Amino acid sequence: MALRCGLAALTAVRHGQSTANVLFAEAGKTGSTDVLLEGGDAQVPLSGLGRQQARAAGRWLAALSPADSPELVLCSPYQRALETWDRMLTAARETGYTPPPALVDERLRDREMGIFELLPPAAIGAQAPHEAARRERTGEWYYRPTGGESLADVTVRTRDFLRDLHDSATGRRVMVIAHDAVVVAIRHALAGLGSPAPDAPPVPNASISRWAGDGTHLHLTDFGTITHLEELSPP
């Protein structure tokens, strides 16, 4: 029972690599339990590679045919998403293409981790082993840290966002700039009632996922595509 959504098309772009992505990957290799970043998750910026990825996504956007180009863009309020869109916009304009302006919707924010915000898994295990054990028992989809959200919670607000799009943007082509949790939540929400918790593949930085509309529902055509990033040199 797929979710009713009458968009002509939906494209979801994950933000480019962030400084937190770099530090979390390194912590995963070393097992570091240090606090990696100061400040809040909403203020995490793109890395140097992330800025390049965002520009590559902008060139991909500019190369779309008029029949495929978005008519409406919505963006997460987090800095790494806004910066991704800003650099996409700049790169697209350099080719002579002018995308529509973006609207910000707070429902596209990343999963909130509450008291464990910006802590790598090893640090959570060191500081709160009982919580790490509960996370393991519960499973990542349903685990909700204190003051934070589960991925199921992210799906609830994402489903609400998609229903608003159905009401206000039926027949239009829409692009969202958001986070991996949101892209997975979109996929799960569109699958509709009774769909199991997804075992979706990873959502790479600056990847593109697309759904085509039939007037009533959206159907997945691409998930986590990164062919537009092949032009970039390895970091």
Per residue in 25-60, pLDDT tens? 988 888 777 766 777 999 999 999 999 999 999 999
Can you tell me which residue has the tokens 């239009």?
172
Q: Which two tokens stand for residue 180?
A: 């991996």
157 pLDDT above the threshold of 90: yes
Residue 235 lies in a domain: no
Residue 99 lies in a domain: yes
Tens-digit pLDDT profile for residues 92-124: 999 999 999 999 999 999 999 999 999 888 888
Q: What percent of the chain has pLDDT over 70?
A: 97
Regarding beta strands 9-14 and 208-213, do their DSSP bridges make them parallel or antiparallel, or are they unpaired?
antiparallel
Q: Which residues form the domain of 43?
A: 9-229
> Per the structure, how many domains does the chain have?
1
Residue 44 lies in a domain: yes
Instruction: Sort residue 110 into left (φ over 0), alpha (ψ -120 to 50) or beta.
Output: beta
69 pLDDT above the threshold of 80: yes
pLDDT at 38: 74
Residue 186 lies in a domain: yes
Query: Would you place residue 235 in the very low, low, confident or very high pLDDT band (cuts 50, 70, 90)?
Result: low
Give the mean pLDDT of 211-228.
96
Residue 212 lies in a domain: yes
Query: Would you place residue 212 in the very low, low, confident or very high pLDDT band (cuts 50, 70, 90)?
Result: very high
d(CA 176, CA 157): 14
Residue 234 lies in a domain: no
81 pLDDT above the threshold of 90: yes
Q: What is the CATH number of the domain that holds 211?
A: 3.40.50.1240
pLDDT at 27: 86
Residue 95 lies in a domain: yes
Give the mean pLDDT of 183-202.
90
Interhelix angle for 79-94 vs 48-62, to 10°? Answer: 50
Residue 174 lies in a domain: yes
